[in-house]
Amino acid sequence: MTAARRDESGARLAYFVLTVRQASWFMNHRSYRRAADPHHGTQGWKRGRKLADFLQLTLNGLAVGCIYGLVALGFVLIYKATELVNFAQGDLLMLGAFVAYMAVAWWGLDYWLAFLIAIAIIAVFGALLDAVVLRRVIGQPQFAVVMLTIGLGSMFRTFASITWSTEERTVTSPFSGVTQIADLTLRHDYLAIVAGTLLLCGLLYAFFTHTRVGIAMQATSQNQLAAYYMGIPVKLIFSLIWAISAGVAVVAGVLLSPTGTISINMGLAVALKAFAAAVLGGFGSIPGALVGGIIIGLIELYGGRVLPDGIKDTAPYIVLLLMLVVRPQGLFGTPGRKKV
Amino acid sequence: MRFLFKTSYQQDIRLFRDWTDAAWYGLLAAIVLLLPAVIHPYYVLETGLVFIYAICGVSLMVLVGFTGLVSLGHAAFLGIGAYAHGYMLSQGFPWVASAALAVLITTACGLVVGLPALRMTGIYLAIATLAFAVIIQEVFNRWTSVTKGFDGLPVDMPVIFWVPFGKIDFYYLCLFFLVLALWLTRNLLRAPTGRAWIAIRDSEIAAQSMGVNLAIYKSIAFAYSAGLMGLAGVLFAHYVSRIAPDTFDILLSIQFLLLVIVGGLGSLHGAIFGAIFVVLLPPFIKILRDEIQVAGAVGRTISDFLGKPGVEAGIFGLILVLVILLEPLGMYGRWLKTRVFFSAFPMYKRATFRRQKTYMRSERLR
Amino acid sequence: MTYFQADNLCINFGGIKAVDGVSFDVQKGMVFTIIGPNGAGKTTIFNLVSRIYEPSDGRLLFEGRDITRVPPHRIAALGIARTFQNIELFEHASLLQNLLLARHAHKKSDFFSELLFLPSVRRMEVEHREAVEKVIDFLDLQQYRDSLIVNLPYGVRKVTELARALCTDPKLLLLDEPSSGLNVEETEDMAFWIQDIRNLLGITVLMVEHDMKLVSAVSDRVLALNYGRPLAQGSPQEVQSHPEVVRAYLGG
């Protein structure tokens, strides 16, 4: 190859790569990995302290899995109601994390207040998304609407990169600190994640089963036409579901922020795993989403320690493929078939 | 207004509806054939990329647009084709053998993906293809004896039957394969196979009642689609001249999906339109940025905005959203509407293309 | 000889016996109707015959052969066609393509000859087109040939369902509520067509219907169902005056 052609081909490749790439999964992925498992990459268990090590990994995997589970929960909530998959869920997580950061760092607000404000703003944003954008595409093939959410996600990332620039930032929270119990290092931010997830799920469960609005949501997701007949304001309910789903994403984002750095592309990496988690659990099942998330989180942590270099990044996906081959409807899903 | 009088069944079976259509396509063919004579060699190569992307578009259109099976990881097949071809060339295989084998290998991979996919529906299939693509990308990274990993696998311009191909020859090569892909796909679409695909997309149960073996036709769709991607991969290897593993990530797959949607889901023309759009938009933005700078302060702000990192992806996203909201039939749909407008003028009615209001039809068992 | 026979058909959906011990036989060239209230299992029986569902017990025999375990996509080649109650047409294809698709069971080409569109494939396409045009003429669908199904009114879609089933060259035709949603005039047309199908085309018809006038006008034999179990079987007059049928379904 002549020098000129090398330059040209290099430039073409660079141009190509730059125009195509926007997120680098594994690069971003690594900052949380390092946080979750300081011994990540070293093969084998720490000698002499196998049980403690195993417990440590399990706890950390639980925390990571809860984040995936929360985002998967957001996916499933919207899917159960509207049979659409919202690929922008991860980006809503990112927006929530940044709004909370902005409230603390730029406006000087208290952490909890910022948390609530972020939830409120993004939840309203989610409802508006449904009312303004998603409502117009009812009746279009499911795949086209999924692509719509992908496009929206891309727009959110661009908006974020313009408003807050692309640098990674660290976030402080009341949960920075650790407690040592024997050989176990309990990070407070991980405990907060697990506690927050349990609390949120408890709230959602109570909401869906014991309030009128929640029951109306269940009805709408099962039979839209019948819900209309019963006088349920179906469109409003859909917007509410979107608002709740967005709120769940924000909770996940704010809980996730202190464990690593926040950046524009943090949502993308999480969303991909969360998607796998939702499918693993069976896409129509809310407990399935959480269980799926925890399984993915545990696989990631255990695999990161035990598996050889080539497989550990893709271990969750291999498990997912195996699950889909053996049981195409996921763990808790019901095999669907059209009634004719 | 041009009326189409049909006098024989052959008219519905033929490639072109009548002589006027054939004439227009002939004109297009002439323009495309003479293009390298009038434009700068750099743009000749870019148009070659348009052809390669168009083949990818046809591939994805067959799977998603005609059979209704969504694949979120189709770039993996592009990579398999590119790496297979590049590796075999480096081992001294003649070009034709290497290309043919690369296409066959990719087709086989398509079958391998398609077989378990037979039992999965909709969203599960999409995530399965995504998982497959992630795994394949890791294979590209790790199998360094074949793919040379992050260093990249170098590929020169093709040498077919001892004739070295320059840039303009490569352009014609891509054009040839695009026309071949279009012809083969069009043949399938006007034959029972293509109709079976459309039946699977619209109603699997009714398709079965008409005698369509779902397993066979879904497998054929996957295999054929992967084969076309493999062909595109062969050409793509030469275009990039150094194959890197992270080129074939999910973002490229999403770009291909964007291609078929913006172009117009459900028609071969859509693949061409989409390819033109996806390849030409980034340079267009760049030219816009340079030109608009002279338009004063407002122009400079817009130019700065366009120059920020990540804005290009946002613009792609915005266009995708706008197309789905406002023109679900894509660029080809808009083209059809414009044509009908002019041919029916002044009697064009906007409601000609109005879709019936549809309620959400559940895919699930109730 | 009994042309088609269902022998002690049973199917359970998780504890609910949707079809419980239904037996009937259909002679060649007759119109056999199944009636009953909604939820009686009529469409379920059709789904069992088209092999969309697996029976938990019982057998299906057609032309002397046991078809209980035949895969769903082979039913059309055997000569059994059906229409769907809720219209399962291919919405984004033209009417012509829907009908041509119905010829799939009789296609004689393989993938590679289609890929290159050999002259044999071209000839086969023309043959199929001619067969389809005969059905279009029979049902007066000429003006809708190139329309997309999404743009067609409901009555035309019902007729298209019938046309598509006829294009498969069936020996046994399953009609699921052919007159539902049709007005009086369209129902009369449907009655004439069903009679023509039996008399002119020699096709045996197995029908599910609610419209009693149509049932009496067209059927040779009737079976009444309730809660998945047979109530009465016989000529239309016998069944319609049967006290149990009257109580369960027809009303006083």
* pLDDT grade for A33, boundaries at 50, 70 and 90: low
In angstroms, the CA C29 to CA B324 distance is: 52
Element (H, E) at A261: strand A261-262
Residue B82: helix, strand or coil by DSSP? helix
Residue A5 pLDDT > 50: no
User: Which pairing describes strands C229-234 and C221-226: parallel, antiparallel, or unpaired?
Assistant: antiparallel
Question: What is the total count of domains within chain A?
Answer: 1
**Residues of C in Cβ contact (< 8 Å) with A340:** 43, 47, 52, 84-86, 88
Interface contact flag, A154 B124, Cβ < 8 Å: no
> Using the beta-carbon criterion (under 8 Å), do A144 and B265 form an inter-chain contact?
yes
Domains and CATH numbers, chain B: 37-346 (1.10.3470)
User: Chain C interface, mutation test: which of B210, B214, B267, most C Cβ atoms within 10 Å?
Assistant: B210
Element (H, E) at C33: strand C31-35
Asked if B332 and B269 count as a contact pair (C-beta separation under 8 A), the reply is: yes
Please state, as a whole number, how many other Cβ atoms lie within 10 Å of the Cβ of residue B331. 20
Cβ distance B188 to C126 less than 8 Å, yes or no, reads no
- Using a CB-CB distance cutoff of 8 angstroms, which residues of chain A are in contact with residue C84? 340
Pairing of strands C172-176, C204-208: parallel
d(CA A334, CA A326): 14
> Which one of B12, B198, B205 has the shortest CB-CB distance to C88?
B205
Residue of C44, C54, C114, C151 best to disrupt the B interface, most CBs of B under 10 A? C114
Cross-chain residue pair A17–B246, CB shorter than 8 Å: yes
Q: For the residues C191-214, what does the mean pLDDT come to?
A: 92
Residues of C within 8 A of B199 (CB-CB) are 90, 93, 101, 104
CB spacing of B209 vs C82 below 8 angstroms = yes
Q: E strands, chain A, where?
A: 169-170, 178-181, 184-187, 261-262
Q: How much of chain A, in percent, has pLDDT values that exceed 90?
A: 24
Q: What is the CA radius of gyration of chain B?
A: 22
CB atoms B314 and A314 under 8 Å: no
Contact B188, B58 (CB under 8 A): no
Q: What is the DSSP string of C103-162?
A: GGGG----HHHHHHT-HHHHHHHHHHHHHHHHHHHHHT-GGGTTSBGGGS-HHHHHHHHH
> How close is the nearest chain A Cα to the Cα of B262, in Å?
10
Res A251 pLDDT > 60: yes
- H or E element that contains B170: helix B167-189
The mean-pLDDT minimum among A9-18, C19-28, C75-84 falls in A9-18
Q: With beta carbons less than 8 A apart as the criterion, state whether C144 and C82 touch.
A: no
Categorize the per-residue pLDDT at A330 as very low, low, confident or very high, splitting at 50, 70 and 90: confident
- Best interface-test mutation with B: which of C115, C162, C174 has the largest number of B CBs within 10 A? C115
Cα-atom radius of gyration of chain A, to the nearest Å?
21
Residues of A in contact with B109 (CB under 8 A): none
β-partners of residue A44 are none
pLDDT at A39: 57
Q: Does residue C112 belong to the interface with chain B, where contact is any CB pair within 8 Å?
A: no
Which residue type, as a one-letter code, is found at position B204? E
Q: Which residues in chain B have Cβ-Cβ distances shorter than 8 Å to A338?
A: 204-205, 363, 365
What is the pLDDT averaged over residues C4-20?
88
Our CA-based measurement puts residue C207 at a distance from the nearest CA of chain B, in whole angstroms, of 17
Which of A117 and A142 is assigned the larger pLDDT? A117
| Partners of chain C (3+ Cβ pairs below 8 A) | A, B
Question: How many CA atoms, within 13 angstroms, populate the side-chain half-sphere of residue A98?
Answer: 23
Most C CBs within 10 A among B61, B190, B209, B216, hence the mutation to make, goes to B209
Nearest CA in chain B to C129: B9
Assign B161 to helix, strand or coil. Answer: coil
CB B130 within 8 A of CB B72: yes
CB contact under 8 A, B199 and C52: no
Mark out chain B residues that contact chain C at CB-CB < 8 A. 9-10, 12-13, 184, 187-188, 190-193, 195-196, 198-199, 201-203, 205-214, 220, 266, 355-356
| One-letter amino acid of B321 | V
CB contact under 8 A, B324 and A137: yes
CA distance A336 to A101: 42
The span from the CA of B36 to the CA of B13, in Å, is 34
Against chain B, the chains showing at least 3 CB pairs within 8 Å are: A, C
What was the pLDDT predicted at B218?
94
User: How do strand C57-62 and strand C229-234 relate by DSSP bridges?
Assistant: unpaired
Report chain C residues whose CB lies below 8 A from the CB of B201: 90, 92
How far is it, in rounded angstroms, from Cα B168 to Cα B45? 7
Q: Please name the CATH architecture into which domain C1-79+170-204+211-220+227-252 falls.
A: 3-Layer(aba) Sandwich (3.40)
Gap from A337 CA to chain C (nearest CA, Å): 10
Is B184 close to C115, i.e. CB distance below 8 A? yes
**Which residue do the tokens 């033929």 mark?**
B14
Question: Residue A49's pLDDT is what?
Answer: 67
Question: How far, in Å, are A228, B185, B186, C236 from residue A189 at the CA level?
Answer: 44, 55, 58, 76
- Take residue A36 and report the two structure tokens written for it: 């979750």
Which residues of chain B have a CB within 8 Å of the CB of C157?
Answer: none
Chain-centroid distance, C-alpha A295: 14
CA distance A145 to chain C (A): 18
Does C109 contact B191 at a Cβ distance shorter than 8 Å?
yes
Candidates B120, B319, B358; nearest CB to A324: B120
Residue A70 counted as domain residue: yes
Residues 187-246 of C with CB under 8 A from B: none
- Give the span between the Cα atoms of C196 and C201, in whole angstroms: 7
Q: Which residues of A touch B124 (CB under 8 A)?
A: 279, 283, 324, 328-330
Task: Give average pLDDT by consecutive 10-residue segment, chain B, 366 residues.
Answer: 76 82 88 87 88 96 92 94 93 92 96 86 84 90 83 84 86 94 95 94 91 93 96 95 88 92 90 93 85 75 77 89 88 87 77 58 40
Q: Which 3 state secondary structure label does DSSP give B85?
A: helix
Cα dihedral value A169, A170, A174, A177, nearest 10: 170
pLDDT at A186: 80
Residues A98, A160 contacting (CB under 8 angstroms): yes
The CA-based dihedral angle spanning residues B153, B157, B162, B164, taken in that order and rounded to the nearest 10 degrees: -160
Count the Cβ atoms, other than its own, within 10 Å of residue B201. Answer: 22
Backbone angles phi, psi at C32, to 5 degrees: -115, 125
* Phi, psi (degrees; rounded to nearest 5) at B120: -105, 150
User: Has residue A303 been placed in a domain?
Assistant: yes
Q: What is the model's pLDDT at position A36?
A: 63
Which 8-state DSSP code applies to residue B119? T
Quote the Cα angle for A227-A233-A238, to 5°. 90
Return the SS3 of A184.
strand
- If pLDDT is split at 50, 70 and 90, which confidence band does A20 have? very low
Mean per-residue pLDDT over chain A, rounded? 80
Here the tokens at position B163 are: 């004739």
In a domain, A84, yes or no: yes
Q: Rounded to an integer, what distance in angstroms lies between the CA atom of residue B331 and that of residue C176? A: 40
Alpha carbon of residue C26 to chain centroid? 14
Q: Is B12 in Cβ contact with C129 (below 8 Å)?
A: yes
CB burial of A309-329 (b: ≥16 within 10 Å; e: otherwise) equals eeebbbbbbbbbbebbeeebb
The boundaries of the domain holding residue A218 are 22-38+49-326
Looking at per-residue pLDDT, the higher value among B111 and A323 belongs to B111
Q: What is the CATH number of the domain that holds A263?
A: 1.10.3470
| pLDDT value, residue C252 | 54
Residue A25 has pLDDT above 60, yes or no: no
Q: Do B124 and A264 touch (CB under 8 A)?
A: no
Across the interface, whether the CB atoms of B124 and A329 are under 8 A apart is answered: yes
Greater model confidence, A217 or A159? A159
Q: β-pairing, C65-66 with C57-62?
A: antiparallel
For chain C, give every residue range classified as CATH 3.40.50.300.
1-79+170-204+211-220+227-252
Among A183-187, A205-209, B79-83, C212-216, which is the least confidently predicted range? A183-187
A273-319 pLDDT per residue, tens: 898 899 888 877 788 899 999 999 999 888 888 887 777 778 888 88
- Cα gap B67→B222, rounded to integer Å: 9
Task: Burial-class residue B138 by CB neighbours within 10 Å (0-12, 13-18, 19+).
Answer: buried
Arithmetic mean of pLDDT, A30-43: 56
Q: How many residues belong to chain C?
A: 252
Strand partners, C134: none
Q: Indicate if the pLDDT at residue A35 is higher than 90.
A: no
Structure confidence at residue A4 as a pLDDT band (50, 70, 90): very low
Nearest-by-CA chain C residue for A141: C92
